[in-house]
Amino acid sequence: MRICIFIICLLATQLAAWAQPQTSSFKEGDTQQVRDLSGFRWKMKMMLPGEGEKAGLDKLPPEDIETLVWNIAQVPGDVYTDLWKNGVIEDPYFGRNASKAQWVSQYEWWYATQFNVTDDLANKMTELKFEGVDYSCDIWLNGHYMGKHEGAFSSFSYDVTKYLRSSKKTRESSNMLMIRLNPPPKVNALVAGRKTPWFGDYWRDVIPFGITRPVKLFTTGASSIKDVYAKTTLLKDGSAKVDLQLEIENFSGKTLTLSALSEITGENFSSEIIKRSSKINLKPGINKVVHSYDIPKPKLWWPWDLGEQNLYKAKISIGQNGVNQDFVEEVFGIRVVKMEWNPGFTREEVSFPRTTTINGKFHFIRSACWGGPPDIFVGRTSVAEYKTLIDLAKKANMNNIRIFGWHPPEIPEFYELCDRAGLTVWQDVIPFGTGNIPQDEVFLNKAIQEGIAVIKERRNHPSLIMMEGGEEMMLRTRDPKFTRRFLEQFGDSLQQYVDLPYVPDSPLTDEASMEAGFKPKEAVHALGYFYNMGNWLLEDWYKSLDYPIVPELAITSVPSVKSLKKFIPENEMWPPGLSWGYHWADLDKLRMQNYDAFNDEKTGSLEEFVNATQDSQGIIFQLSVEHFRRNKPRLSGIALCHFITYWPDMKWGIVDNYQEPKRSFDYVQTAYQPLLVNLNFEKRRWKTSESFKGEVWVVNDLYKDFPGAKVKLEIKNDRQEVIYSETKPVGAIEGNSAKKMFSLEEKVLGKVEKQFYVTLKLIGDKDQALSHNDYLFLIGDQQEASKKFKQMGKEMKQKIATYGAGNYFEYFPDVNGEGEQKMDSDMDTPRARGFENKK
């Protein structure tokens, strides 16, 4: 929130920047000073649990240089990345190295930094603020114990005024900050909501921890601005009201009379500067002050496909006797978010309105689960990486990102990027990735307070439009009714601090949710095709889904060969070795989805297999998305599972861990076109004796009409030769619509051998290209293919029943004793079954 205006570093992306590491700066004439202790001037040391304090590490004199020989560390960052950079552990992302690093979480890790303060701090107050430490830490400054904190997402601070050493003399100005990172918790349910889950079917049992966000010193006068909330309201006459709700803390111990000044102006557009001032009497402790503004003709913030991303900037300062005590700058947007009921569903079928409107317009959500942070070891990522990924999300025609409950709330820069890109954020507030939380008031209150801290820090971002309480909590709970009550209490607590829609959990269509009183047509996780692979061919599966919203739509693929070489040992590349399974390559399912997409498992070579998994992922995403979009407005949103994942795996993402878009990215980009021409059809396999049948549709998420449109349709044979072509006028395409344009029935498949292609082009009244699409179809017997697919599924499920879910040894006969000989130390790396005889 707090931005020192003399330390703004202009990025090419127009990000608001932060104080530079290990520097200090004043706003001229102000008392405020911000010093960022982030950077590389940190050292780290390993100790047995409880032994660091016994050894006296907390009492190291600030003038001493003993920490000079400790391992080098970086803040923000994480323990594993620091150890990797120091050569203590091998890269946890490579091969199966992560398991070798499990010992790290059994120790406590001491982080130290020394810094000098030469400024005159007389009559000033200094706070030491930690924006985020994962998960548990103890803090000492110059040998004085400051306190303990638990919780990975909430910031915390200490008044260090009387402990900070300041002098013009170098030796006397030296300060030593010492942080003990305690061994991280080992049972997620006991810290649910306050730490990122480290389990799930795309990660191995290594528990990340570290000083994950900046550490800063804030020096002010006797009073400090602790929080600013720009609460915005749109009025019926089109004007807006902005209430700047300020929290100001008085540290002096007596009542103070101060002046408060504030102003609002356009942050990225020209506007009149509006100013307010007031005299305030501050009692000791936290005080609340409101400055209200009426804006007759507000410039609203919109998602990128509905309008402009207009942002306002508020500046607030407090002072006494002409001297500023503190200064804060906040960027916000004016928009109103509402939820409406999805048409076609009754109150007996659904419990919540799931249609999002922004400033009165239907915001059809084209989304994907973020699956982040970009790296589970946060020391390996950067703001530049976030910028690349947000740009890719927008390039994929997404207008929303869902941060779902297996992952943490994101860093401030993420939301700033979304504000400017016009991407809305669907936020699972804190990572409740399990329903088996303790039924203990102390635990529950801590979790709620963590959620409140998260939402208060992010609520000024106009991109934040929706809050969710949990992720599959109902699905996994032992006590559905208790879990529902808690999630509703959680939502009530959050909505006291921000006026945003809230839903308690996702998916809410499972047996436990029904027991808790939810309805049978709530939001669905469209994961059945993957987890029950072999039950249906893909088009039979997605056509059976009819729900108001789809928070997860999942299928997997393998990263490119270029990316594989970065984390798979060379001798395990092909046929797949054990590291493939370790990185969650579901080899049987990958072969099966290839068969479904192409009538061929595509195991002839590494490149053929990899490309086919990405294409099959893309085809399944494309056809499912188009099915859901044709059901608009009955259905109001889709989130793919996922956009990215947080380590190099062979699982969900359409962009891999090295920011390399997969081939499936292109399919999603096509399916998520705001204006989309698409084909509805019964099946993907056709006999040459049949007439090819389908329906041409146009879905328009834009609030714009396109008059005089026409559709050009072509059918091509195996050699991409056109065997049928037709251009049909379809008239005006209405804004915010989904409509069937015409039906197709042509007997041309006798000219095809194994596969054929259909391409569509939507053309405007001035012959401009408006939308494009293409499809691959197969020559074959749909019923026979379904039988074979189900048999493959039956065989796969028998193996899972033998070895258990997630046991990748099932793919490797030499490891589990089913090969010609058992694995021993002299054997070559075992190879996956099903690939042995392929060239």
- The mean-pLDDT minimum among 10-24, 169-183, 534-548, 714-728 falls in 10-24
Instruction: State the pLDDT at residue 839.
Output: 44
Three-state SS string over 85-134 comes to HCCCCCCCCCCCHHHHCHHHHHCEEEEEEEEECCCCCCCCEEEEEECCCE
pLDDT band, very low/low/confident/very high, at 821 (cuts 50, 70, 90): low
CB 586 within 8 A of CB 556: yes
Measured in whole angstroms, the distance separating CA 303 from the mean position of its chain's CA atoms is: 18
Residue 161: count of CB within 10 angstroms of its CB:
14
* Residue in this structure with the two tokens 């700058």, named with its chain if needed: 329
Tokens of 775: 């499809």
Tokens of 792: 């493959």
Q: Say yes or no to pLDDT of 26 above 50.
A: no
Q: Say yes or no to pLDDT of 25 above 50.
A: no
Arch. (CATH architecture) of 677-782:
Sandwich (2.60)
The arithmetic mean of pLDDT across residues 794-821, rounded, is 84
Instruction: State the pLDDT at residue 170.
Output: 82
Q: Say yes or no to pLDDT of 374 above 70.
A: yes
DSSP 596: H
5-220 and 677-782 agree in CATH topology: no
Q: Say yes or no to pLDDT of 482 above 90.
A: yes
The arithmetic mean of pLDDT across residues 458-487, rounded, is 95
The arithmetic mean of pLDDT across residues 340-362, rounded, is 96
pLDDT band, very low/low/confident/very high, at 264 (cuts 50, 70, 90): very high
pLDDT band, very low/low/confident/very high, at 439 (cuts 50, 70, 90): very high
- The mean-pLDDT minimum among 4-13, 47-56, 157-166, 656-665 falls in 4-13
Q: What is the mean pLDDT of the chain?
A: 92
Instruction: State the pLDDT at residue 558.
Output: 98
Question: Could you report the per-residue pLDDT of 179-193, keeping only the tens digit for each?
Answer: 999 999 999 999 999
φ, ψ of residue 541 to 5 degrees: the values are: -75, -55
φ, ψ of residue 678 to 5 degrees: the values are: -150, 165
Instruction: State the pLDDT at residue 372.
Output: 86
Question: Could you report the per-residue pLDDT of 71-81, keeping only the tens digit for each?
Answer: 999 999 999 99
* Residue in this structure with the two tokens 């208060």, named with its chain if needed: 456
- The mean-pLDDT minimum among 160-174, 210-224, 387-401, 767-781 falls in 160-174
pLDDT band, very low/low/confident/very high, at 30 (cuts 50, 70, 90): low
Instruction: State the pLDDT at residue 27.
Output: 43
φ, ψ of residue 742 to 5 degrees: the values are: -165, 165
More confident residue, 120 or 534: 534
CA atoms within 13 A on the CB side of 806: 7
The arithmetic mean of pLDDT across residues 501-527, rounded, is 94
- What does the domain layout of the chain look like in residue ranges? 5-220, 223-332, 356-558+608-669, 677-782
CB 290 within 8 A of CB 243: yes
CB 377 within 8 A of CB 404: no
Whether CATH 2.60.120.260 fits 5-220: yes
Task: State whether the Cα torsion 11-210-203-608 is positive or negative.
Answer: positive
CA separation for the pair 494, 183 (Å, rounded): 30
Residue 634: count of CB within 10 angstroms of its CB:
16
Q: Which secondary structure element, helix H or strand E, spans residue 368, and what is its range?
A: strand 365-368
Give the residue among 465, 467, 414 at the shortest CA–CA distance from 303. 465
CB 151 within 8 A of CB 446: yes
Question: Could you report the per-residue pLDDT of 284-301, keeping only the tens digit for each?
Answer: 999 999 999 999 999 999
CA separation for the pair 659, 382 (Å, rounded): 12
Beta strands 136-141 and 675-680, pairing class: unpaired
Length of the chain: 839
Instruction: State the pLDDT at residue 522.
Output: 93
φ, ψ of residue 673 to 5 degrees: the values are: -55, 130
Three-state SS string over 175-213 comes to EEEEEEECCCCCCHHHHECCECCCCCCCCCCCCCCECCC
CB 41 within 8 A of CB 174: no
Rg (CA), the chain: 29
Beta strands 39-47 and 108-116, pairing class: antiparallel
Cis amide leading into 633 (omega within 30): yes
Measured in whole angstroms, the distance separating CA 158 from the mean position of its chain's CA atoms is: 30
Question: Could you report the per-residue pLDDT of 298-309, keeping only the tens digit for each?
Answer: 999 999 999 999
CA separation for the pair 557, 570 (Å, rounded): 20
CA separation for the pair 24, 34 (Å, rounded): 6
pLDDT band, very low/low/confident/very high, at 11 (cuts 50, 70, 90): very low
Q: Which secondary structure element, helix H or strand E, spans residue 269, and what is its range?
A: none
Angle, vertex CA 556, rays to CA 551 and CA 561, nearest 5: 140
φ, ψ of residue 766 to 5 degrees: the values are: -110, 25
CATH superfamily of 223-332: Immunoglobulins (2.60.40.10)
The arithmetic mean of pLDDT across residues 209-215, rounded, is 98
Residues forming beta bridges with residue 46, ordered by sequence position: 109
DSSP 614-629: HHHHHHHHHHHHHHHH
Q: Say yes or no to pLDDT of 367 above 60.
A: yes
Instruction: State the pLDDT at residue 576.
Output: 96
Q: Say yes or no to pLDDT of 743 above 80.
A: yes
pLDDT band, very low/low/confident/very high, at 804 (cuts 50, 70, 90): confident
- CA distances to 39, 43, 52, 162 from 113, in Å: 10, 6, 16, 19
Instruction: State the pLDDT at residue 337.
Output: 97
* Residue in this structure with the two tokens 């060969």, named with its chain if needed: 561
The arithmetic mean of pLDDT across residues 686-700, rounded, is 97
CATH superfamily of 356-558+608-669: Glycosidases (3.20.20.80)
Instruction: State the pLDDT at residue 822.
Output: 54
Q: Is 665 helix (H, G, I), strand (E, B) or coil?
A: helix
Q: Say yes or no to pLDDT of 838 above 60.
A: no
